[in-house]
Amino acid sequence: MKVAGIDCGTNSIRLLIATVEPGQPLRDLERTMTVVRLGQGVDKTGMFAHDALERTFDAAERYADLCRQHEVETIKFVATSATRDAGNRALFVSGIEERLGVTPEVISGQREAQLSFYGAASVIDSPEPVAVVDLGGGSTEIVLGSVTDGVIGSHSMNVGCVRMHERHLVSDPPTEDEIAAARSDVRAALDEAASVVDLSRATRLVGLAGTVTTVTARALGLTHYDPARIDGATLSVDRVLAACEWLMTATREERSAEGYMHPGRVDVIPAGALVWSEVIRRCAAEMVSLDSVTTSEHDILDGIALWAAGRLA
């Protein structure tokens, strides 16, 4: 059986085509990402921009071709933060239906957190509870869970790399006042998250998605983006925070020159790095001990594919 999972977020749209065999993990046939910035301006206007929809539809057409080439049997298309916020989401839904023949499922922040956790389970080898954080463009999900008990608690925060970039970090490089304003927003969101998710129970912190993997590439000193080295990388808290600080304060030209940097992430990575640094600091304060942070290349996209394969309810 061949399945496809599509994750349409605020910054990017991603596709995973995989084979499913009984008792076996998913086997990737195609894994690709396109930065479309679907959430461009949504935080301010509450509506999808025409250009953003067209970029997303173009990518969806390419993904439809790949699904046909691989003779995919089941497609699960998930839309997250930007689509939850957009008043004209019906245009988006009809456009995707026309191109892919499936209706996008606009999931809640709680469902997003669940799918992210189960997608990341491949790097969670301990029965003890862990904190899994999926840092997206419009929202950030924090999940407490374990391989034995599944999701114990979760919370979705309306902070992400695109939202914080458009709202606060607009200068090159961001000013101290902009950084302070963004920190205030993130810390307020974390206060709410901590009241819902008991981070003190977590024994590890696992980070997911493009901001986290980009920060990890910087912390590893990579000259190009290497998923094999990034996936499962466990680095000291100080090393990761140092990488966040550099990405927050470097100029656009300096960031663009980094070989691991995706061109579509150059402008929003300072905001993403700020969010990730604040999450790490909060987890370090709440958890009994946090010396290191683990990165996973397996995230909500894997969870969506598992859902398409009927392995998740």
Which residue, chain included where needed, has tokens 């995973």?
16
pTM of the complete model: 0.93
Length of the chain: 313
What beta strand segments (E) does 12-162 contain? 12-19, 27-35, 74-79, 105-106, 130-135, 140-146, 150-157
- CA dist 145 and 147 (Å) reads 7
pLDDT value, residue 122: 65
pLDDT value, residue 132: 96
Q: Give the range with max mean pLDDT: 80-84, 113-117, 282-286.
A: 282-286
Parallel, antiparallel, or unpaired: how do β-strands 105-106 and 234-236 relate?
A: unpaired
What beta strand segments (E) does 158-264 contain? 205-208, 234-236
Cβ–Cβ < 8 Å for 72, 113? no
**pLDDT tens profile 198-254:** 999 999 999 999 999 999 999 999 999 999 999 999 999 999 999 999 999 999 999
Lowest-confidence region among 76-85, 164-173, 232-241: 76-85
Please enumerate, as own/partner, the contacts of 184-192 that have beta carbons within 8 Å and a separation of 24 or more.
185/159, 186/157, 186/159, 186/274, 186/275, 186/278, 186/279, 187/278, 187/282, 189/140, 189/157, 189/158, 189/159, 190/157, 190/278, 190/279, 190/282, 192/155, 192/157
User: Please, which pLDDT band fits residue 82 given cuts at 50, 70 and 90?
Assistant: confident
Give the residue-averaged pLDDT of 59-75. Answer: 97
CA distances from 277 to 63, 107, 182 (A): 33, 26, 12
Give the residue-averaged pLDDT of 134-138. Answer: 93
pLDDT value, residue 35: 94
Taking each helix axis from N to C terminus, what angle separates 237-249 and 210-220, rounded to the nearest 10 degrees?
100
Give the residue-averaged pLDDT of 6-35. Answer: 92
